[in-house]
Amino acid sequence: MPTKTDILDLYFMDSRAKLLDIASYLDRLDRHEGETDFRQEGFLNALQTMLETKENRTAAVLNTLSDSSTDPIEAVTIQAAYGAPQLEN
């Protein structure tokens, strides 16, 4: 089994780059005009979840970004998925 140092050697730089991409994305959104939508609200909720969760963080983030309803819907309103739940769901 790899040690923590091995995992750092394999993934630290990649994760650092992705973290900077997220920071840049947040700044980029702030710089531009207009309003965000449910996707950004979901994104920020997921970030908060990741920081507050102490284990199984990926599952916790995915759960935060999931539709939490349980019954099938009557009919398709749109075919695509957005990656974050809409509040009216």
For the CB of residue 42, give the shortest distance to other proteins in the complex, in Å. 8
> Using CA atoms, how far apart are residues 31 and 33, in angstroms rounded to an integer?
7
84 counts as binding other proteins under rule CB under 8 A? yes
> Using CA atoms, how far apart are residues 43 and 54, in angstroms rounded to an integer?
18
> Using CA atoms, how far apart are residues 84 and 66, in angstroms rounded to an integer?
6
For the CB of residue 85, give the shortest distance to other proteins in the complex, in Å. 5
Among 31, 33, 66, 87, binds other proteins (CB under 8 A): 66
For the CB of residue 48, give the shortest distance to other proteins in the complex, in Å. 17
